[in-house]
Homo-oligomer: A and B are copies of this chain.
Amino acid sequence: MFLHTSKLQFEAKPDRPDALYARKLQELIGGTWGEMTVTMQYLFQGWNCRMEGKYKDLIMDVATEEIGHVEMLSTMVARLLEGAPADTTASMVDKDPVVAAIIGGMDPQQAIVSGGGPTLADSNGVPWNGRYIVASGNLMADFRANVAAEAQGRLQTARLYNMTDDQGVRDMLRFNLARDTAHQNMWLAAIEELQEDGLEGPISPSALFDEEHSEHAGTIWHTSDGTEGPKGRWASGPTPDGMHEFSYLMEPVALGDKASAPKPDPLLYATSPANLGLIEKAIRKLT
Q: Within the assembled complex, what's the spacing in Å between the Cα atoms of A33 and B163?
A: 32
Q: Mark A54-68, 1 if CB is under 8 A from B, else 0.
A: 111110111111011
Given A98-B97, A263-B50, CB of A268 within 8 Å of CB of B145? no
Asked if B286 contacts A115 (CB within 8 A), the reply is: no
Q: How many copies does the complex hold?
A: 6
Residues in A32-77 with C-beta less than 8 Å from chain B: 32-33, 36, 40, 43-44, 47-58, 60-65, 67-68, 70-72, 74-75
* Min C-beta distance of A213 to chain B, whole Å: 5
Known: A44-B117, A147-B144. A136 touches B155 (CB 8 A): yes
Q: Are B206 and A278 interface neighbours, CB within 8 A? A: yes
With A78-B47, A115-B137, A161-B208 in contact, do A233 and B123 touch (Cβ < 8 Å)?
no
Q: Provide the bound-state CA to CA distance between A261 and B11, in Å.
A: 13
Residues of B within 8 Å of A218, CB to CB, are: 182, 185
Task: Give the shortest distance, in Å, between A66 (CB) and chain B (any CB).
Answer: 9
The docked-state distance in angstroms from the alpha carbon of A222 to that of B59 is 10
Instruction: Give per-residue flags for A69-100: 1 if the beta carbon is below 8 A from chain B beta carbons, else 0.
Output: 01110110011011110111111011001101
Bound Cα distance A128, B40 (Å): 11
Q: Which residue of B lies closest to A86 (CB)?
A: B267
Neighbour of A57 across the interface among B86, B226, B265, CB < 8 A: B226
From B30, B116, B213, B254, give the contact of A130 (CB < 8 A). Answer: B30
Closest-by-CB residue of B relative to A192 is: B233
Q: Roughly how many angstroms separate A213 CA and B170 CA in the complex, as a whole number?
A: 11
A44: min CB distance to chain B, Å:
7
- Could you say which of B2, B71, B239, B252 contacts A185, with CB atoms under 8 Å apart? B239
What are 7 pairs between A and B in contact, CB < 8 Å? Answer: A4-B63, A27-B112, A51-B272, A87-B162, A115-B265, A185-B203, A243-B286
Beyond the given A51-B271, A206-B278, please list 18 additional residue pairs across the A-B interface where CB-CB is below 8 A: A2-B223, A8-B255, A20-B90, A27-B108, A33-B113, A48-B270, A61-B223, A71-B259, A93-B101, A116-B137, A128-B130, A152-B204, A158-B269, A181-B203, A185-B234, A196-B233, A198-B280, A201-B282
